[in-house]
Amino acid sequence: MKAPDFVYVRPGSIAEALALLADTDADATPLAGGQSLMPMMNFRVAAPGKLVDLNGLAELRGLRVENGMVRIGAMTRYAELLASDDIRENIPLFGLALPHVAHAAIRNRGTIGGSVALADPAAEIPALLLVLEAEIHMQGLAGTRAIAAEDFFLGLYETALQEGEIVTEIVVPARKTTEQFGFYEFARRHGDYAMAGVALKVGGPDHCRIGFFGVADRAIRATRAEVAYRDGGVPAAMAALDDLPFDGDLNAAAKTKRHLAGIALKRAFEGIS
Ligand SMILES: Cc1cc2nc3c(=O)[nH]c(=O)nc-3n(C[C@H](O)[C@H](O)[C@H](O)COP(=O)(O)OP(=O)(O)OC[C@H]3O[C@@H](n4cnc5c(N)ncnc54)[C@H](O)[C@@H]3O)c2cc1C
């Protein structure tokens, strides 16, 4: 199938993009890497009247390290993140996880901002950002604002982004020398969306952050398991997952997801570096 008719516009500035997105009559929608939006349009799951292409906006691309923070433009592509020495050094969790995001061709086009805005429950990036205590920066006609990743992902494909706003930047604290990271996911084939996956940040024997993806309607933090880890290590953390809102999907029933989440957590802890 092919996409329904739409108007295509390529703004030259963020201000111009925001003005175009304000056209609610045309159901204007941002286009980033197109790796989710274009298939959704071709399957006619999405039918925006106007595509506002963000690919010409240089101010949304690239990354820099500043005052202990890594600032990543929303239009930075997965492949650029994987190739970056700054990312390898300051966000090693990205290095562990990004090779599992889709396939090389999709990573060449797909953007971090696109993943954040889409909020697919099985996507890796939202869970990584929860674990890393990242902030999402947005801009709309009313101005700019920033929200902690923890408050940004609200439900199935649902975020705190408001109509007409775009994600401009993702800000991630740079790694502290005491921190280690772990990642593990179950997928039917490497590069497919995960059936269940987990990302970890371990700050010592009594501190960790745990984020799951592919198991519920959104990326979720396992706060009870984080506390259990402090008191009883990995077995206690694995046993403290029953309060999470596991959801079944086409891949697996909720009970299977619960089982896979425990094993993924164990393997992620085994592989921390
Ligand atoms: C075969 C296949 C396998 C895949 N496997 C995985 C996987 O394993 N893990 C994974 O995480 N993803 C996977 N993906 C999805 C891929 O990562 C997408 O690139 C990503 O989800 C969306 O990024 P994008 O830049 O392509 O955004 P687009 O497809 O262009 O946009 C996605 C949505 O976000 C909105 N949007 C985009 N950028 C912004 C912005 N800056 N501000 C506001 N709204 C914005 C768009 O309007 C649209 O609604 C897969 C895709 C395919 C086709």
Query: Tens digit of pLDDT per residue, the chain (273 long)?
Result: 789 999 999 999 999 999 999 988 889 999 999 999 999 999 999 999 999 999 999 999 999 999 999 999 999 999 999 999 999 999 999 999 999 999 999 999 999 999 999 999 999 999 999 999 999 999 999 999 999 999 999 999 999 999 999 999 999 999 999 999 999 999 999 989 999 999 999 998 788 999 999 999 999 999 999 999 999 999 999 999 999 999 999 889 999 999 999 999 999 999 999
The CB of 30 under 6 Å from ligand 1? The reply is yes
Q: Does residue 116 line the site of ligand 1, with CB under 6 A?
A: no
Judge if the beta carbon of residue 33 lies within 6 A of ligand 1. yes
**Per-residue pLDDT at 226:** 97
Atom of ligand 1 nearest to the CA of 29: 47
pLDDT value for 7: 96
Nearest CA to ligand 1 atom 23: 114
CA of 116 to the centre of ligand 1 (A): 8
What pLDDT was estimated at residue 120? Answer: 97
- Please report the atom of ligand 1 found closest to the CA of residue 40: 29
129 lines ligand 1 (CB under 6 A): no
Q: Report in angstroms the alpha-carbon separations of 175 from 14, 179, 195, 222, 271.
A: 30, 7, 28, 21, 17
Q: CA-to-CA distance for 37 and 30, rounded, in angstroms?
A: 9
Instruction: Kindly give the distance from the C-alpha atom of residue 118 to the centroid of ligand 1, in angstroms, as a whole number.
Output: 6
Give the mutation target among 14, 27, 35, 170 for probing the ligand 1 site: most ligand atoms within 8 A of CB: 35
Give the domains, in start order, of the chain with CATH numbers: 7-56 (3.30.43.10), 59-173 (3.30.465.10), 181-270 (3.30.390.50)
